[in-house]
């Protein structure tokens, strides 16, 4: 007997197979295509995406997951949530206003952008304030009609749930969330009623904010919202969709009057399955079972997945089970088919969006009693995975041995900071309030072209090296002339701070087309850790040693830290992230040693991404921070007492991890704070942080050249909390996205500001 199990998708990547979505956007922004042509191109892309899912045989195809920029921004403008500075007078939000909110305009700065939960996708933060919402247009309805008329698809509209929308918004006190929800409920209901009238069957209401933890008042709010909604639209089947973590307490969600609940059975640490087994499944609900990893690029193990389905089927009848990815497929590239350079054993172990949808169909068929075809394809999957697992570079004895021995390595520097700092002062003899930069200098078109020529073989290694050396020499001369105290080589040889190391470490591979959206039209192509990571040969020594040979001032060696390398890569899923971080840390430990052996005795190990790996649930923070800090220490704690370890982070929300930052035990840390000075300084006020610290004194994200006076004030404000003896003066991040002209002018002013403050503190 066969049972047809329903399959569903939660969201499809927007960017297109060849990033045609990105290209269309950028062409429109630059004025190369008209609004009308742009809209036509977008419609074409949207249709293709629907058809790909149709071809994969997915039963519930999402609509309204497609957007021109960001789905949270879509939700905001749909409800008229447009900040006052944009001079908006109600009604449908014009396209250019929509983009102005995302990207800024001549008359008003952009809305804030921040990370979507623990992903590298960024959404536009809605600014609600006191405005009264209105339904300016019904986007899900339009998307539903589009799919129906253009592709004959009975789509499943996706909307951001009210609870999550409010949790992600700003402009009102958290204590007033209930009142704000009451203001929004009528327009949410209006939207859903229009869908109901249209004859829509299923609606997916995304409520990922649920997984970050539910306080009693959160549960009350959910009850109010869903009570009101479900009473108003009895004809719709509502799926309350969660993802990225376990939805706890599941008891509370099961009581909500919705027809289906979607749970993530991949990133839940087993808690969702455990809860279903403990509580059983209510007879009146469907379960959206997120069984295929929406965040990884790997083919699923069919036997493990069939086992999971079987466990779920013990509690949920097959005709109430919906098989789906664990989250939207927005976080993975479109298709493996575009990859032509990977070796077969690796390529066949990959699954991007299209391949994941095919996996779902296959699992649904196999679990529902199957057909002969499914059995053959399952066998193929098993073989592919077996071949991949057997690759020798994935099971290196030497790497395993080193990781085993890692626990026996000393956990700290040989001297505590209070003692080694004296030796470092004696060695380095830096002035009060030393000035430095974060590492990179402008990556001009010339630098990028040179690298391209070298990559294409137009330039040989020697020619490219000579070019990089010239850049380094010019940067050193300039820094000396500006009067900076601690110099950098400028990172001209690096495109990207993770890719550069990935290309030089064992265990990495690079896709040709594995792009994912980061924000707006900006896409990234994360390198892939597919095997054991290990040191092969020095990666940065050549450039650092050359730079140091040109000056008597110290030049910092410059590395990317283990946690950042991990967090900005796609990572193999057969080892824990902690385990992979250890492998990277050990490889970097070699590099740090190589730098020190070569006479580089100030070494900066950047960890800008340490904050974003923080788990969504507060109770998991400690475990993560423990291994993250440990990885950093393994990479750095074996240096001489006099060697000065620096680190850099680009984030300002550190209040919840200041203890961990201190535990990293870097001698000097620089932090990006110029846009939120007050807050971060307050964080340091409460903690007695005794190590060197550079709070960025100007914002490098804008071409504006800050005045001396402005930076002087920034420094003086910081010195009210921090000791002048521990303070460093630097911009708030690397300068690679800036031009030379503004960089030079800003640094000149920064050095002058430092001199002013030194005088006052002398
Ligand atoms: N050293 C790096 C640079 O200056 C740091 C970049 C970053 O913080 N993201 O570019
Ligand atoms: Zn930074």
460: helix, coil or strand? coil
- pLDDT reported for residue 395: 97
> Between helices 177-198 and 216-232, what is the axis angle to 10°?
30
For residue 403, how many other CB atoms are within 10 A of its CB? 18
Ligand 1 atom at minimal distance to the Cα of residue 437: 4
What does the pLDDT look like over 36-70, one tens digit per residue?
999 999 999 999 999 999 999 999 999 999 999 99
Give the pairing type, strands 516-519 and 644-649. Answer: unpaired
Ligand 1 centroid to Cα of residue 753, in Å, is 23
> Which of the four pLDDT bands, split at 50, 70 and 90, describes residue 412?
very high
> Which of the four pLDDT bands, split at 50, 70 and 90, describes residue 1?
very low
The Cα-based distances of 126 to 204, 269, 651, 678 in angstroms read 21, 31, 20, 23
Ligand 1 centroid to Cα of residue 670, in Å, is 11
CA distance 589 to 597: 12
Ligand 2 centroid to Cα of residue 440, in Å, is 10
Spatial neighbors of 169 by CB under 8 A, at least 6 apart, are: 76, 81, 125, 126, 127, 128
Residue 742 assigned ligand-binding role: no
Largest CA distance in the chain: 87
What does the pLDDT look like over 467-509, one tens digit per residue?
999 999 999 999 999 999 999 999 999 989 999 999 999 999 9
Q: Burial of 683 by CB count in 10 Å (0-12 exposed, 13-18 middle, 19+ buried)?
A: buried
**Among the bound ligands, the one closest to the CA of 568:** 1
Ligand 1 atom at minimal distance to the Cα of residue 564: 9
Among 438, 561, 694, the mutation site with the greatest number of ligand 1 atoms within 8 A of its Cβ is: 438
* Residue identifier of the C-alpha nearest atom 3 of ligand 1: 734
Cis peptide before 249 (omega within 30 of 0): yes
Ligand 1 atom at minimal distance to the Cα of residue 439: 4
Q: Are 161 and 79 in contact (CB under 8 A)?
A: no
> Average pLDDT of 213-240?
98
List the Cα angle 282/244/193 in 5-degree steps: 60
> Which of the four pLDDT bands, split at 50, 70 and 90, describes residue 348?
very high
508: helix, coil or strand? strand
674 has a pLDDT exceeding 60: no
- pLDDT reported for residue 677: 52
> Average pLDDT of 193-198?
98
- At 635, phi and psi to the nearest 5? -70, -25
- pLDDT reported for residue 658: 86
* Residue identifier of the C-alpha nearest atom 1 of ligand 1: 439
> Average pLDDT of 419-429?
98
Q: If you search the block for the tokens 């509580």, which residue do you land on?
A: 279
* Residues paired with 238 in a beta bridge: 203
What does the pLDDT look like over 126-156, one tens digit per residue?
999 999 999 999 999 999 999 999 999 999 9
What does the pLDDT look like over 76-104, one tens digit per residue?
999 999 999 999 999 999 999 999 999 98
Ligand 1 pocket, CB under 6 A: 438-440, 491, 497, 558, 606, 608, 648, 650, 733-734, 736
Q: For the whole model, what pTM was predicted? A: 0.95
Residues marked active site are found at 701
CA distance 628 to 170: 30
What does the pLDDT look like over 264-309, one tens digit per residue?
999 999 999 999 999 999 999 999 999 999 999 999 999 999 999 9
Token pair, residue 98, equals 């929509």
For residue 399, how far is the Cα from the chain centroid?
Answer: 28
DSSP structural state of residue 726: G
**Among the bound ligands, the one closest to the CA of 443:** 1
- pLDDT reported for residue 699: 85
> Average pLDDT of 329-334?
98
Residue 491 assigned ligand-binding role: yes
- On average, the pLDDT of the chain sits at 95
Q: What is the dihedral of CA 408, 412, 413, 416, to 10 degrees?
A: -150
- pLDDT reported for residue 75: 98
444 has a pLDDT exceeding 90: yes
CA distance 331 to 115: 13
Among 489, 648, 700, 701, the mutation site with the greatest number of ligand 1 atoms within 8 A of its Cβ is: 648
What does the pLDDT look like over 577-624, one tens digit per residue?
999 999 999 999 999 999 999 999 999 999 999 988 999 999 999 999
2 has a pLDDT exceeding 60: no
**Among the bound ligands, the one closest to the CA of 696:** 2
What does the pLDDT look like over 641-672, one tens digit per residue?
999 999 999 866 777 788 899 999 999 999 87
Domains along the chain? 6-69+112-389 (3.20.20.210), 397-443+482-761 (3.20.20.210)
CA distance 477 to 470: 11
Among 734, 735, 736, 738, the mutation site with the greatest number of ligand 1 atoms within 8 A of its Cβ is: 734
For residue 383, how many other CB atoms are within 10 A of its CB? 11
What does the pLDDT look like over 540-568, one tens digit per residue?
999 999 999 999 999 999 999 999 999 99
576: helix, coil or strand? coil
Token pair, residue 659, equals 């203890």
- pLDDT reported for residue 57: 96
């Amino acid at each position: 007997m066969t049972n047809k199990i329903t399959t569903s998708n939660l969201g499809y990547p927007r960017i297109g197979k060849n990033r045609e979505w990105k290209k269309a956007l950028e062409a429109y922004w630059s004025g190369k295509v008209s609004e009308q042509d742009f809209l036509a191109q977008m419609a074409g892309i949207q249709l293709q995406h629907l058809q790909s899912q149709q071809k994969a045989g997915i039963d519930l195809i999402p609509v309204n997951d497609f957007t021109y920029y960001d789905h949270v921004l879509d939700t905001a403008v749909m409800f008229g949530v447009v900040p006052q500075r944009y001079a908006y007078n109600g009604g449908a939000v014009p396209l250019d206003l929509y983009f102005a909110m995302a990207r800024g305009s001549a008359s008003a700065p952009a809305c804030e952008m921040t990370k979507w939960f623990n992903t590298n996708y960024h959404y536009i933060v809605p600014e609600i304030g006191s405005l009264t919402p209105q339904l300016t247009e019904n986007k899900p309805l339009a998307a539903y009609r589009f799919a129906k008329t253009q592709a004959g698809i009975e789509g499943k509209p996706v909307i951001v749930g009210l609870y999550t929308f409010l949790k992600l918004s700003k402009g009102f006190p958290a204590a007033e969330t209930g009142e704000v929800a009451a203001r929004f409920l009528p327009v949410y209901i209006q939207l859903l009623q229009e869908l109901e009238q249209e004859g829509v069957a299923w609606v997916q209401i995304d409520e990922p904010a649920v997984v970050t933890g539910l306080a009693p008042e959160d549960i009350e709010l959910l009850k109010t919202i869903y009570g009101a909604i479900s009473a108003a639209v009895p004809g719709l089947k509502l799926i309350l969709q969660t993802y990225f973590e376990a939805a706890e307490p599941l008891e509370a969600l099961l009581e909500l009057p919705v027809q289906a609940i979607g749970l993530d059975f991949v990133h839940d640490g087993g808690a969702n399955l455990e809860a279903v087994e403990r509580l059983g499944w209510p007879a009146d609900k469907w379960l959206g079972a997120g069984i295929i990893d929406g965040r990884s690029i790997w083919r699923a193990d069919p036997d493990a997945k069939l086992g999971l389905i079987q466990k779920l089927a013990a509690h949920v009848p097959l005709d109430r089970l919906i098989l789906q990815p664990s989250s939207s497929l927005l976080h993975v590239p479109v298709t493996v088919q575009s990859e032509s350079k990977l070796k077969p054993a690796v390529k066949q172990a990959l699954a991007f969006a299209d391949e994941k949808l095919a996996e779902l169909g296959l699992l649904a068929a196999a679990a529902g009693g199957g057909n002969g075809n499914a059995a053959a394809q399952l066998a193929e999957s098993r073989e592919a995975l077996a071949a991949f697992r057997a690759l020798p570079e994935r099971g290196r004895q030497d790497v395993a041995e080193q990781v085993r021995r890692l626990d026996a390595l000393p956990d700290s520097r040989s001297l505590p900071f209070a003692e080694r700092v004296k030796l470092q002062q004696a060695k380095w003899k830096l002035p009060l309030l030393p000035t430095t930069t974060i590492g990179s200098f402008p990556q001009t078109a010339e630098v990028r072209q040179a690298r391209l020529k070298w990559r294409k073989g137009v330039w040989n290694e020697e020619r490219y090296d000579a070019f990089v050396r010239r850049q380094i020499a010019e940067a050193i001369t300039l820094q000396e002339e500006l009067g900076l105290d601690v110099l950098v080589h400028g990172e001209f040889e690096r495109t990207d701070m993770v890719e550069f190391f990935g290309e030089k470490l064992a265990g990495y591979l690079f896709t040709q087309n594995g792009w994912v959206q980061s924000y707006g039209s900006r896409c990234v192509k994360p390198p892939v850790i597919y095997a054991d990571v290990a040191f092969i040969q020095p990666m940065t020594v050549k450039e650092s040693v050359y730079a140091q040979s040109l000056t008597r001032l110290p030049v910092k060696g410059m590395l990317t830290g283990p946690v950042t390398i991990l967090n900005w890569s796609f990572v193999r899923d057969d080892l824990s992230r902690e385990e992979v971080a250890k492998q990277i840390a050990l490889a970097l430990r070699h590099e740090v040693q190589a730098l020190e052996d070569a006479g580089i005795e100030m070494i900066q190990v950047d960890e800008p991404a340490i904050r974003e790996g923080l788990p969504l649930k507060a109770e998991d923070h400690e475990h993560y921070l423990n291994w993250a800090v440990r990885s950093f220490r393994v990479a750095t704690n074996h240096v001489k007492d006099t060697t000065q370890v620096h680190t850099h982070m680009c984030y300002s929300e550190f209040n919840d991890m200041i203890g961990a930052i201190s535990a990293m035990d870097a001698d000097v840390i620089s932090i990006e704070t110029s846009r939120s000075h007050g807050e971060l300084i307050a964080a340091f006020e409460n903690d007695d942080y005794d190590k060197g610290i550079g709070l960025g004194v100007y914002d490098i994200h804008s071409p504006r050249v800050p005045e001396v006076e402005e930076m002087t004030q920034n420094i003086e404000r910081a010195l009210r909390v921090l000791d002048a003896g521990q303070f460093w003066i630097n911009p708030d991040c690397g300068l690679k996205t800036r031009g030379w002209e503004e960089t030079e002018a800003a640094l000149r002013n920064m050095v002058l500001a430092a001199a002013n403050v030194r005088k006052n503190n002398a």
